[in-house]
Structure 1
Amino acid sequence: MFTETIDLPAAPPFDLGPALRFVRGFPPTSGEQVIEDGTLTRALRAHGRTVVARVVQAGDGVRVTLHAAGPLTPDDVAAAADRVRFHLSLDDDLAEFYLRGRDDPGFAPVIGRLHGYHQVKFPTPVENLAWAILSQRTPIAAASNGKRALAGEFGNTLVVDGAEYTAFPDAEQLASLPETRVGELVGNRRKGHYLHGAVRAWREVDEDFLRTGPFGRVKAFLLGLPGIGPWSANFILIRGLGRMEETPVEKSLREAASRAYGRTVTDADLRRLAARYGRWQGYWAHYLRIAA
């Protein structure tokens, strides 16, 4: 086993603790990582390689120890570092969001409880895409089984300190599967058809464009993918790409906002409350959901 350790700074304030608590309770990645003694260990795909990243807080950022079956090139390390940075949203500058939130009496206590939490996204956006399709009108257990079957198809597994870690396939790997095989693995021909088509279209678009391109164009691309409707598109925009410009109005957010603000919050209230957060409204909604 080959290892390399790197330090990654984070935009302050940053606290890995709330991120670890979130990951513990996040059903889509349940059982895929180990959280112990303030350390997160999980497998990921980067630059066509499978690596296991062990992440711990180090000052205002994190220290990451990368484990791989063979030597890591500088490009491998850079790609793995990018994956960790994006997964943990290390570059998100929360200063403006916190400034607005502290002037919001109903929301200020939420900031107090989650201070320093940077949104934990799916390890890769394509994993979020797959989960969005697999989990539609499906029990979480069934969606998780399909996701594990896809991951198990490629042997993206490493053993570190006696524990096995398996990375979810990257877009290139998923696109290499015939549509019929995808349907067999996920146990649903229709979802296999959607996922196969969506991944093949995904491969044709640069991920940097999805992360940073014009919001409307990125959303339109997602809505054009097989099996992706408005809810799924917003889900991927926020939880897979970190695009916080919009907040979907839905029951779970109404309930979370009602608890935080101590009154019944209507759809109109949600839109008004979210508007004060501008480009940070996705963070506002995410904080509300996980603080409940």
Structure 2
Amino acid sequence: MSLSADTTLALPAAAPFDFSQSVSFLDGFSPCADGRICRDAELVTGGFAPEPFVAHLSPDGPDAVRAHVDWLRAAGDGSAVAAHLDNFLSLSDDLTPMYEAAQADEAFASVVGDLFGYHHVGFPTPFEAACWAALSQQTSIRVATELRDALVRAVGRVAVVDGTAVSLFPTPAMVRARPDEIRDAIGNERKTKSLLAAAEAFLEHDLANLTTDDLLTQLADVWGFGSWSAEFIALRGFGRMSILPSEESRLCTAVGDVYGIENATMNDVRRCADPYGDCRGYWAHYIRVWDFLGDESVSDD
């Protein structure tokens, strides 16, 4: 696939920021990693902004990222790509309030020490998070990943970089415009209906500018979604890190491991999260990432 032009972007990140922490997490988290390239100190990702692009990301000194953007068609708007990448890697997130609260929390301070400079790695776009919520309901990660890849092939785009496929996830307009291709690719009427309803919601409402409470309400009203899907999309897609998941068994287990609580419940989770205020979603995400990376290191031994 020929590339028509290129753009180089210098992307500042709120300190502290450690690009290697982002790549380490992304490398093993298949819902966000598949269709992207993670190697050493480089990340290759793609998308529509709205022109199709592939971006090669690398650290650019402390607290900054350099992105070399290849346009797959006409050259597009570099600022739109910058916003896309900022959302993906949460470059603008200020970790200071959470880190300050952790100084009085010995158990969580050790988690911060292990993940220092890690910014929330979400889905590249909120719409991709919504589609993952639709595709992964009552479905294994492996099968959901296969469905996501089928969706990209059907209505998105795939670029090949150094022999490796890089997925460009479709926009809401692209999904809404091709319902028959979606049905054929997914082969599941319920999931197809949910995908199309999500696309409609993203096109009809300015979701990004809603308050968090209104966003949760709007997302929960999408056909096939509910409170869990709404929380997931708001957290992992829109980066609303004030949200503490209301029910998540793995979070309970991980909190129990960090704080030494046997058979931890969601009441224990809420109690431990309380000092973190509007950072409680970030606190929970750090604990889940710490648990995830710990499992990865054990499985590699």
Question: Counterparts of 1:208 and 1:261 in 2: how far apart (Å)?
Answer: 34
Question: Counterparts of 1:158 and 1:184 in 2: how far apart (Å)?
Answer: 22
Aligned position for 1:139: 140
The within-5 A match list for 1:1-292 is: 1=3, 2-47=5-50, 49-59=51-61, 60-73=63-76, 76-154=77-155, 156-178=157-179, 180-209=180-209, 213-248=210-245, 249-264=247-262, 265-292=264-291
Shift of residue 200, structure 1, vs aligned partner: 1.2
Question: Counterparts of 1:25 and 1:17 in 2: how far apart (Å)?
Answer: 13
Q: Is the 8 A contact 2:156 2:174 kept in 1?
A: no
Question: Counterparts of 2:68 and 2:162 in 1: how far apart (Å)?
Answer: 13
Q: Secondary structure at the match of 1:18?
A: helix
Structure 1 portions without partners, runs of 5+: none
Q: Secondary structure at the match of 2:205?
A: coil
Question: Counterparts of 2:234 and 2:34 in 1: how far apart (Å)?
Answer: 24
Q: Is the 8 A contact 2:198 2:223 kept in 1?
A: yes
RMSD: 1.5
- The letter for the 2-side match of 1:279 is D
- Per-residue CA shift, 1:91-138, capped at 9, x if unaligned? 000001100012111100000000000000101111100000110111
Q: Secondary structure at the match of 1:119?
A: coil
Question: Counterparts of 2:95 and 2:277 in 1: how far apart (Å)?
Answer: 13
Question: Counterparts of 1:261 and 1:156 in 2: how far apart (Å)?
Answer: 44
- The letter for the 2-side match of 1:24 is D
Question: Counterparts of 2:178 and 2:35 in 1: how far apart (Å)?
Answer: 22
TM-score scaled by length of structure 2: 0.91
Q: Is the 8 A contact 1:43 1:166 kept in 2?
A: yes
- Per-residue CA shift, 1:43-83, capped at 9, x if unaligned? 11112x1100111111211000001124424xx21111110
Shift of residue 155, structure 1, vs aligned partner: 5.3
Question: Counterparts of 1:109 and 1:258 in 2: how far apart (Å)?
Answer: 14
Question: Counterparts of 2:144 and 2:80 in 1: how far apart (Å)?
Answer: 28
Q: Is the 8 A contact 2:36 2:44 kept in 1?
A: yes
Q: Residues 155 and 219 (structure 1 numbering): CA distance in 2 closer, same or farther, change over 3 Å? A: closer
TM-score scaled by length of structure 1: 0.93
% of aligned pairs identical? 37
Question: Counterparts of 1:235 and 1:44 in 2: how far apart (Å)?
Answer: 21
Q: Is the 8 A contact 1:145 1:186 kept in 2?
A: no
- The letter for the 2-side match of 1:62 is V
Q: Is the 8 A contact 1:15 1:115 kept in 2?
A: yes
Q: How many residues align?
A: 285
Question: Counterparts of 2:129 and 2:71 in 1: how far apart (Å)?
Answer: 24
Q: Is the 8 A contact 2:120 2:282 kept in 1?
A: yes
Question: Counterparts of 2:65 and 2:82 in 1: how far apart (Å)?
Answer: 11
Structure 2 portions without partners, runs of 5+: 292-301
Question: Counterparts of 2:162 and 2:289 in 1: how far apart (Å)?
Answer: 32
Question: Counterparts of 1:139 and 1:146 in 2: how far apart (Å)?
Answer: 11
Shift of residue 266, structure 1, vs aligned partner: 2.5
Question: Counterparts of 1:155 and 1:271 in 2: how far apart (Å)?
Answer: 40
